[in-house]
Structure 1
Amino acid sequence: MSDPTLPQPHHPYKVMAVYKFADLPDAETLKTPLAQFCCNRGIKGTLILAPEGINGTVSGTPEAIDALADFLFASGPFGTRLTGAEVKYSFADTAPFLRMKVRLKPEIVTLRAPEANPSQQVGTYVEPENWNALIERNDVVLVDTRNDYEVGLGTFQRALDPKTESFVEFKDYVAKNLDPARDRRVAMFCTGGIRCEKASSYLLSQGFEEVFHLKGGILKYLETVPEAESRFAGECFVFDERVSVGHGLELGTATLCRACRHPLTPDDRQHADYHEGISCPHCVGDAAKHAAAAERQHQMDLAKKRGASHLGDDAMTDAAERRQAKKARAEQSRLANKLD
């Protein structure tokens, strides 16, 4: 189990990002005890279980997240199967997630390529402090394995952008743009390292000889490498309410369009097609999304006026309390009419 990488105890929320390719044929039976453990401690976020392992990001109080780490790596039903998992910790002032989900899926990162088996073969891990020297070599092809909207916020200098909308498209990109006879050395990176486990295994299965990937991904690089020495330009997209982080894993400047979920830079939010909560330059012209977003924004505004939550577990609690109060008022009215 890793120690906290950013010891900032004054922040109320501790965030754990974890993944491990491991043999979990009992993933289905593990789902309920894992969900109950998290919900009982107020932990929120998403964890994916599959026969090939675990992947996800959650947050909670530091005490709750430390207890979860013990549950996953030592005392819980996983036994020692998750030993050596890639774990990253960070801290936040506000809750990054709204609810807790434990999902069962066929893969913890979807590529739909059975020949890509990280439990059997993966590329060569490169520590963040050695990454700059590798990617500055002229004989290394550098590939960003993330999707187009993630690359748009920030990437490494000289990196190729596959322009994929989903990771399953990465196979087509490799077939059309990379050649094992020509591209003898390929270096890859992603957000936290998990996609590169699959991607590097896939490239090796296709005959590529030397495949490297950034250990711990961009997040570990931004945490480890001094900003003055960084080759990463921009911010790193993350899949929670923070949207993006910068060097030192500090909160970034990006927000999400509530209509299309595309990350927005400060320049995007100055665009004439940007309307908060309704539309952005990336979804202009999509009337259906704009109408749905406008209604969502209206409901959020109403919830704010009531002092209630609109999204997440708190919203469900607020809604249940309102329903109960409405029933109580109806019952009081019925009794009053009966007495009259």
Structure 2
Amino acid sequence: MALHNRVSADLLKERLAAETFNRVTISFYQYAKITDPQLFRDQLYQGLFDLAVFGRIYVAHEGINAQISVPEHNVDAFRTFLYSFDFLNGIRLNIAVDDNGKSFYVLKIKVREKIVADGIEDPSFDITHRGQYLDAAAFNELSAKPDTVIVDMRNHYEFEVGHFENALEVPSDTFREQLPMAVDMLKDQKDKNIIMYCTGGIRCEKASAYFLHNGFNNVFHLEGGIIEYSNKAKEHGLPNKFKGKNFVFDDRLGERIGEEIISKCHQCGEPCDDHTNCANDGCHLLFIQCKKCAEKFQGTCSDECQHVYNLPEEEQALLRQNIDKGHHVFNKSKQRLRPRLGDR
């Protein structure tokens, strides 16, 4: 069999919509030494394809990072297959909090230089020398102490729609930018309790090791990230210290953790925490849009994009030539985009 997808996205989405069974969205990661990432990638693809697993997985010499959708009836078989690899045996699987079963429609497994692009080039950096894990109860207890600093190790657009009480934002577009920025922001607080968190644990685990590498003394990170925290807080009846929505990197673009809406529509300013991608294929800007503005602008981010969206497809295709959207997200802290996208 071909170890990659050969079916069109439209057909795959139709097949997903026609499924008569439920799916479970699961994320997991593991830092480990993988000698031959390509071989491991191919073995993984074969096994997951046979179980009708969809998702996005990155494999590197430093480990694996995965967000997937598993048919409910195949979850046990999936766990058995995954645990058959020695370095994955018994690892924690983060189960999505707010799941519609439509998070992914295709299986993509890619070999990368790193599972989390970090920009770290110091050969003495050791990912295994990391901070202490905190479970949900320990997080609530330590985060309430006055000598504790809570650091959000996610991107600015994730923080905007949801974060823990009193968390410090490191306003960056990428993890690579964020690491040195966070160290600089906290350079005078090296003896305080530093708690880091992220979506599922992978970024804050590496960040905790980076902080220790840079001379911080009391470094902690939330085990399993926001996803595990939410599940355990519910399971044990703990107070939920997370406010708003947890951004996720799949077709859902978010899962509800706290009932509060702490962000605003980027077009009209009304309370809203629903991310979307601009419907103009030449833009695809990631931004927050309320239902009223979605109807008014037809899912686009501006008058300009709405005009392009309504052009014949042939004209749109010509306009898209040589456009590099890159990492195209709305950042309210940068002057390259106006606060009201509809005014662009």
Q: TM-score, normalised by structure 1?
A: 0.72
Q: Secondary structure of 2:172's match?
A: coil
1:310 is matched with which residue?
none
Q: In 2, Cα distance between the equivalents of 1:46 and 1:294?
A: 32
Q: Secondary structure of 1:171's match?
A: helix
- Structure 1, unmatched stretches of 5+, are 1-9, 300-340
**Structure 1 residues 84, 38: closer, same or farther in 2, change over 3 A?**
closer
**Alpha-carbon shift at residue 191 of structure 1 (Å):** 0.4
Q: In 1, Cα distance between the equivalents of 2:83 and 2:274?
A: 33
Please say if 1:254 is aligned against 2:274: yes
**Alpha-carbon shift at residue 272 of structure 1 (Å):** 8.7
Provide runs of 4+ in structure 1 moved above 6 Å: none
The residue type paired with residue 98 of structure 1 is Y
Query: Aligned Cα RMSD in Å?
Result: 3.0
**Which residue of 153, 164, 183 corresponds with 1:156?**
164
Q: Secondary structure of 2:86's match?
A: coil
Please say if 1:97 is aligned against 2:119: no
Please say if 1:275 is aligned against 2:284: no
Higher alpha-carbon deviation: 223-232 or 138-147: 223-232
Q: Superposed, which structure 2 residues align to 1:32-111 within 5 Å?
A: 32-74=42-84, 79-90=85-96, 92-111=99-118
- Structure 2, unmatched stretches of 5+, are 1-19, 260-271, 315-344
The residue type paired with residue 274 of structure 2 is A
Q: State whether residues 222 and 246 of structure 1, in contact with CA within 8 Å, keep that contact through their aligned partners in structure 2.
A: no
Q: TM-score, normalised by structure 2?
A: 0.71
Q: State whether residues 58 and 109 of structure 2, in contact with CA within 8 Å, keep that contact through their aligned partners in structure 1.
A: yes
Q: In 2, Cα distance between the equivalents of 1:295 and 1:64?
A: 44
1:7 is matched with which residue?
none
1:139 is matched with which residue?
147
Higher alpha-carbon deviation: 177-186 or 211-220: 177-186
Q: Secondary structure of 2:220's match?
A: strand
**Which residue of 21, 27, 32 corresponds with 2:37?**
27
Q: What are the Cα deviations for residues 124-166 of structure 1, in whole angstroms up to 9, with x where unaligned?
A: 1111122111111111111100000000110011111101100
2:126 is matched with which residue?
117
**Alpha-carbon shift at residue 27 of structure 1 (Å):** 1.0
**Structure 1 residues 158, 294: closer, same or farther in 2, change over 3 A?**
farther
The residue type paired with residue 188 of structure 1 is M
Q: State whether residues 244 and 258 of structure 2, in contact with CA within 8 Å, keep that contact through their aligned partners in structure 1.
A: no
Q: State whether residues 190 and 217 of structure 2, in contact with CA within 8 Å, keep that contact through their aligned partners in structure 1.
A: no
Higher helix residue share: 1
Q: In 2, Cα distance between the equivalents of 1:290 and 1:28?
A: 42
Identity %: 28
